[in-house]
Amino acid sequence: MRTLGIGMIGYGGIGRVHAMAYRSLPFHYGLPQDTFRIAGVATTRPETARAAAAEIGCDFATADYRELLARPDVDVVDVSVPNHRHAEVVVAAAAAGKHIYCEKPLAMNVAEGRQMLAAVRAAGVQTQVTFNFRFYPAVMRAQQLVAAGFLGRVFSFRGRYYRSSYIDARKPLTWRQRKEIAGGGALFDIGSHILDLIYALLGDFGAVQANMDTLIRQRPAAPGEDATQPVDVDDIALLNLRLADGTPGVVEVSRMGTGLTNDLGFDIFGDKGAIRFNAVDANWLEVYDVRDAEQPIGGMRGFRRIEAVNRYPGQKAPDWSMTPDFVRTHAESQYQFLKAVAEGRPARPDLADGLHIQAVMAAAERSAAEGRWVSVAEALA
């Protein structure tokens, strides 16, 4: 396979995680170091671009991402800029014929998402959205079980993502709490992840009824300042949902979950079985099989833990028995995308998947504002 050149656009906290993951890919899969190569990086200022290139170990740095897009040694662009710039960068990358790996959420709104999807389809480039939590081995095992009919008829689902990121009222305002840059708050930031997990497991959403609130409405404008500015995005979002087939469920999202650092999980209940996952204990998928009761002396009824650990197909290191971590999910997500690019086949989750999640979030925002159920089709209209 020829070397695939990666151009990184944006190098904040998540950009650094992406770079770590790319650099680790040859070690995970026993590949030559030149299989994937970070060819260059673009940030908003020359000095930060140079510092990023020095840290990554790449030769090209620029404060104009269009210079990166013009390079023939860049096949794939990694878009890790703040949300309000996703559409601009993705449309330009598609026009330049680059394959696109884009951070979540896809866009600021459905209209931008549509524009981005039209651009990549017109250009014929391959895309993937960074919904990296799909790539925990336990989640991939859950997908296999659902596809095999283990649950039978699905009765309901429950998803949650709680963090304690913003419980301190003295924490200064960040771009993630400014609607003009982030597009939304907890719902966009972490809610997009748990919504995507339910979507990946159970299929399209149909409608949503939401309650959303901003629990700390003023924050310091900058570190060490007494002056405050308003927070105009949500801290918490509580969603009642129905899938396209009518299956009911709930999703809870909060960046005000005191005591919880990264509490992501789901439960799915069916007439034949149930599954549940908690990313805090990512080694395991928990399953309940109703059919156990039919075995002699009552079988082995009860939830049991299925060993998932670090079972990634083709992995050479680390040993399969090790616990998968956050960066490893990014590496697997990137690897699957780059493989798809190299083999000329579609990747998932792509921009169309990202647009569906964008529409669910738009429906939730409309529901919270108007106090009613809103269909995903209405949000897309």
Residue 301 has pLDDT above 90, yes or no: no
Mean pLDDT along residues 224-237? 94
Report the number of distinct structural domains present in the chain: 2
Domain boundary among 131, 164, 191: 131
Residue 297 has pLDDT above 80, yes or no: no
| CATH code of the domain in which 61 resides | 3.40.50.720
Same domain? For 18 and 148 the reply is no
Give me the residue label for tokens 């969603």: 239
Same domain? For 176 and 246 the reply is yes
Same domain? For 218 and 311 the reply is yes
Domain boundary among 131, 151, 177: 131
Same domain? For 44 and 149 the reply is no
Does residue 347 belong to any structural domain of this protein?
Answer: no
pTM of this structure: 0.96
Q: Compute the distance between CA of residue 285 and CA of residue 5 in angstroms, rounded to an integer.
A: 36
Mean pLDDT along residues 230-237? 97
Q: Which residue has the higher pLDDT, 119 or 222?
A: 119
**pLDDT value of residue 120:** 98
23-68: pLDDT as tens digits: 999 999 999 998 999 999 999 999 999 999 999 999 999 999 999 9
Mean pLDDT along residues 302-329? 93
Same domain? For 172 and 103 the reply is no
Q: Compute the distance between CA of residue 72 and CA of residue 41 in angstroms, rounded to an integer.
A: 14
Q: Compute the distance between CA of residue 370 and CA of residue 179 in angstroms, rounded to an integer.
A: 19
Closest CA to 60 of 76, 75, 43: 43
Domain boundary among 82, 111, 131: 131
Does residue 328 belong to any structural domain of this protein?
Answer: no
Q: Which domain holds residue 54?
A: 4-131
Same domain? For 100 and 207 the reply is no
**pLDDT value of residue 299:** 66
Residue 70 has pLDDT above 70, yes or no: yes
